């Protein structure tokens, strides 16, 4: 009651309106900061979610990369093993081919010596076809690494008459 005696009704109404406006202003200020906080919080939340998604994706990619590296290493080891096997097989084949070439060279040498004895001791002459065939075999013999043992035999075969004696 003392309020009514000290202040007039219009002053009390003005103070009431000012008080209500102050409360409304305080409320709006609280709302403003709450909205700012929510926006900031949502940005941080969105940023955190994106970071988590990126981290998950990175871990997945890293895991896939590690698996790929393991598969690559495994394949590299298999390739190395296969390369070793192939090299071993090639070396074996190379030895076998060398042995076959040597054997063929001996067969040619034997055939030329046999024909040499036949044409020089028994027949005493040689036809062109037989001489040409012996020349081709002699060429193969030399190409396969044959020595000079056959050179003198071939020289004698070339000196034989080309037709039978009359």
Residue 110 resides in a domain: yes
115-140 tens-digit pLDDT = 999 999 999 999 999 999 999 999 99
Q: Is residue 73 part of a domain?
A: yes
Residue 4: its pLDDT value, please?
Answer: 65
Q: Look at residue 42 and tell me if it is in a domain.
A: yes
Give the residue among 166, 152, 156, 148 at the shortest CA–CA distance from 119: 156
CA 166/CA 159 separation, integer angstroms: 18
User: Does residue 71 lie within any of the structural domains?
Assistant: yes
Number of domains in the chain: 1
Residue-wise pLDDT tens digits, 83-101: 999 999 999 999 999 999 9
Mean pLDDT, residues 154-158: 93
Residue 165 is assigned to a structural domain of this protein: no
By residue range, what is the domain housing residue 42?
Answer: 7-159
Domain annotation covers residue 86:
yes
* Residue of 102, 92, 90 lying closest to 144 (CA atoms): 102
The answer to whether residue 2 sits within a structural domain is: no
pLDDT surpassing 90 at residue 13: no
- The pLDDT of residue 1 is above 90: no
What pTM, to 2 d.p., does this model score?
0.54
With tokens 């990369």, the residue in question is 65
Please indicate, yes or no, if residue 164 is contained in any of the structural domains: no
């Amino acid at each position: 009651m003392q309020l009514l005696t000290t202040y007039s009704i219009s002053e009390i109404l003005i103070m009431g309106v000012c008080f209500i406006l102050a409360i409304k202003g305080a409320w709006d200020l609280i709302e403003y900061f709450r909205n700012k906080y929510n926006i900031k919080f949502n940005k941080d939340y969105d940023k955190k979610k994106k970071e988590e998604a990126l981290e998950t994706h990175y871990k997945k990619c890293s895991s896939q990369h590690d698996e790929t590296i393991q598969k690559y290493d495994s394949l590299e080891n298999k390739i190395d093993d296969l390369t070793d096997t192939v090299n071993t097989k090639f070396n074996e084949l190379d030895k076998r081919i060398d042995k076959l070439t040597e054997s063929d060279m001996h067969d040619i040498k034997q055939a030329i010596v046999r024909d040499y004895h036949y044409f020089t001791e028994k027949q005493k002459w040689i036809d062109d076809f037989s001489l040409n065939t012996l020349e081709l075999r002699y060429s193969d013999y030399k190409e396969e690494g044959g020595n000079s043992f056959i050179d003198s035999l071939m020289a004698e075969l070339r000196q034989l008459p080309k037709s039978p004696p009359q």
